[in-house]
A and B are shown apart, each in its own frame.
Chain A
Amino acid sequence: MNRQVHLCLLGASMSLIALAGLTGCGQGSSNSGSGGGGEKQRGTLTILAASSLIDAFGELGKTFEKQNEGVTVKQSFESSSTLLTQIRQGAPADVFASAAMEEMNTAVKDGLVAGDPKVFVKNREIIMVPNDNPAGIKEFRDVAKPDVKLVLAQKDVPAADYALQILDKANAEYGASFEKDVLSNVVSRESDVRASVNRVVVGDADATFGYASDYTIDIRDKVKVVPIPPDLNIIATYPIAALEDAKSPELAKKWVELVTSKEGQRVLEKWNFEPAA
């Protein structure tokens, strides 16, 4: 019986420890949260950014932490549509950087954004194919050839929305069935643009629509670019804004300043983005 009591007590004390741990965690995070709002040089800046920004913002995040000692930059990169859903569901964040006006406009309309969004950078779409180019795609119109395994980002993801607009425009030039032929080649819809680019990088897809900025240094030995004729291409505009519920509004403002500054623009251009102005 003693053993039984011991076991019970052991179990009880373990659950107490677990409870203490839980409450401890809660306190810890709320502390750092309120600390972030108070002073400039302390706290955490949380950024939700379109997945195409992962490299450029990654670099700028380090710059920001260097410029503001004691500040931690936390970033989450997903499709702008996913990020919008997360913000609507109350995800704690300070800044939203979208790959399209549409998501930002919705956020503004829902009163989730503080102040006016700023367009900070532009981008254009390209076709990417694996280096060995199994489907033999030499020019843009080849993506309509039968049996091309084409991967697109999911419905409502800006990269896919732009792709559909481009196909729509191309119909006028290549014939009315062009868009239909291309869409019938789609074998998978990925969660964001980087995921669809990775399908080409691992060689399973024959082609995908991505941004010029997605053609990063580390995939250049695996992927080739097929440009989209400029008259058919759509210029993607990226707006950025601080969020209404930001815990660190000061830091959020500073981040927007950094991104739109000369230095920020230089980093973005380095990663194949185009200047906003």
Chain B
Amino acid sequence: MKERSKEVLPPRTFPWSDTLASGLAVVALALLAGFVSLPLLSLMVWTVSEDSWRAMASPVAVDALLLSVRTTAMTMAVLLLVGTPAAYVLARVDFRGSRVVNTLIDIPVVLPPSAAGIALLLAFGRLGLVGRYLDVFGVTLSFTTAAVVMAEIFVAAPFYVRQAATGFGAVDRTVEEAALVDGASRSAVFFKVTVPLALPALVAGALTAWARALGEFGATVIFAGSFRGITQTIPLAIFAEFQSDIDAAVALSVLVLGFAFVVILAVRYLTARTNGT
């Protein structure tokens, strides 16, 4: 950026302040990078020195990992099926109250997950607003894997829907209209033109939402409870193991760290491609 400004702008009048500012900015970046990498490094160091590799293969860790994979997969299936058309409507249709709905969908992003857990409990718990009627039909959600998926959808949905809506909004309408003029049906245009053009944004949004669902703790522990193989996902297992076996807690954290790393790399790659096209 500095070099580009040299070409475009006239000679600088206050070079000292510029140098000072960029120097401080570099220091700031170094501070931030160090602050983020140090704890991650500490996780790695612990893994090398202690025998927590064994803990990664423990039944608790395996059950938690499998449950996390299963619940986040279900979450993503629901999000893709429901969130994609919802995002399309948000991006393309200017209906009455669309602003209200837009804001509503974003609320879980700013709501602390534990508050979301209480809200879900009061709605779908056995004595909750909806839960008391479900209970009559013999449907109980608390302490079930379904409750875990509900908590994950609640907190992760906005991350997907928001990015998907932005992606759809960026698709050039004239391309869609051209396809319509050529005689393609609306649904064919959606699946063959709109979705492929918005795909990088959809995938990036899905990955962010998946990562958010994977990290979900507060809403799950409050709404779904914690039981091995049923509701104890990786974050809950880390919290539980921290009280009895710190090696296992570290092992689980390293597992999640590895996964988060892969997700971030993938998102970076995809967003880079979106910007390119």
A residues in contact (CB < 8 Å) with B: 1, 4-5, 8-9, 11-12, 15-16, 79, 81-82, 85, 134, 149, 151, 154-157, 186-191, 199, 202-205
- B242, A15: Cβ atoms closer than 8 Å: no
Given contacts A188-B143, A189-B227, A204-B126, contact A85 B25 (CB under 8 A): no
A154, B21: Cβ atoms under 8 Å?
no
Say whether, besides A9-B21, A189-B226, A204 and B244 are in contact (CB < 8 Å).
Answer: no
Chain B, 206-238, CB within 8 A of any chain A CB? 221, 224-228, 230-232
Chain A residues near B127 (CB-CB < 8 A): 202-204
Please measure, in the bound complex, the distance between the C-alpha atom of A133 and the C-alpha atom of B34, giving whole angstroms: 55
Say if the beta carbon of B177 comes within 8 Å of chain A: no
Partner of B227, one of A1, A5, A187: A187
Complex CA distance for A199 and B244, rounded to whole angstroms: 22
B172 sits at the interface (CB 8 A): no
Bound together, the chains give a CA A85 to CA B242 distance in angstroms of 8
A8/B244 in contact, CB under 8 A: no
Given contacts A188-B225, A203-B125, A204-B126, contact A8 B21 (CB under 8 A): yes
Known contacts A8-B21, A15-B28, A187-B143; 12 additional CB pairs below 8 A are A8-B18, A81-B243, A154-B243, A187-B225, A189-B225, A189-B240, A190-B225, A190-B226, A191-B243, A199-B225, A202-B125, A204-B125
A171 to chain B, nearest CB (A): 23
Can you give 9 A-B contacts (C-beta < 8 A)?
A1-B12, A5-B14, A5-B21, A149-B140, A189-B225, A189-B228, A202-B125, A204-B142, A205-B143
| Alpha-carbon separation in the docked complex, A31 to B9 (Å) | 50
How far is the CB of A68 from the nearest CB of chain B, in Å?
A: 33
- B221 cross-chain contacts in A, Cβ below 8 A: 191
- B110: interface (CB < 8 Å): no
Contact-size category for B: 35 or more
Query: Of B14, B25, B143, B246, which is within 8 A of A204 by CB?
Result: B143
Say yes or no: is B45 at the interface (Cβ < 8 Å to chain A): no
4 closest residue pairs by CB, A with B: A188-B225, A8-B21, A187-B143, A203-B127
Is B22 located at the chain interface by the 8 A CB criterion?
Answer: yes
Kindly list chain A residues whose C-beta atoms are within 8 Å of the C-beta of B240: 154-155, 189, 191
| Cross-chain pair count, CB within 8 angstroms | 87
Cα(A85)–Cα(B247), bound, Å: 12
B239 at the interface (CB under 8 A from A): yes
B19-57 with Cβ < 8 A to chain A: 20-22, 24-25, 28
Contact of B226 with A5 in the complex, beta carbons under 8 Å: no
Given known pairs A5-B17, A202-B125, A204-B126, the reply for A155 and B244 (CB within 8 Å) is yes
Contact of B121 with A by CB under 8 A: yes
Contact in complex: A149, B18 (CB < 8 Å): no
Let me know if A191 and B239 touch, CB within 8 A: yes
A5 in complex: contacting residue of B18, B125, B225, B232, CB < 8 Å: B18
- A237 CB, nearest partner CB in chain B, Å: 21
Evaluate contact between B24 and A203: CB separation under 8 angstroms.
Answer: no
Q: Do the beta carbons of A188 and B227 come within 8 Å of each other?
A: yes
Interface residue? B5 (CB, 8 A)? yes
Complex interface: chain B residues within 8 A of A16 (CB): 24
Asked whether B243 lies within 8 Å of A156 as measured between CB atoms, the reply is: yes
The CA-CA distance from A243 to B267 in the complex, in Å, is 48
Complexed CA–CA distance, A4 and B140 (Å): 59
Q: Is the CB of B9 within 8 A of A1?
A: yes
Residues of A within 8 A of B239 (CB): 191
Complex formed: what's the CA distance from A8 to B140 in Å? 56
Contacts of B244 in A (CB 8 A): 81, 154-156
B227 touches A204 (CB 8 A): no
Q: Do residues A12 and B243 form an inter-chain contact, with CB atoms below 8 A?
A: no
| Nearest opposing residue in chain B for A12, CB measure | B24
CA distance A188 to B12 in the complex (A): 66
A151 to B142: give the CA distance in the assembly, Å.
12
Q: Are B121 and A202 in contact (CB under 8 A)?
A: yes
Q: Which of A154, A202, A203, A204 has the most CB of B within 10 A?
A: A204
Contact at B125–A12, with CB atoms within 8 Å?
A: no
For residue A155, give the distance in angstroms from its CB to the closest CB of chain B.
Answer: 6
In the complex, what distance in Å separates the CA atom of A73 from the CA atom of B56? Answer: 40
A residues within 8 A CB of B243?
79, 81-82, 85, 154-157, 191
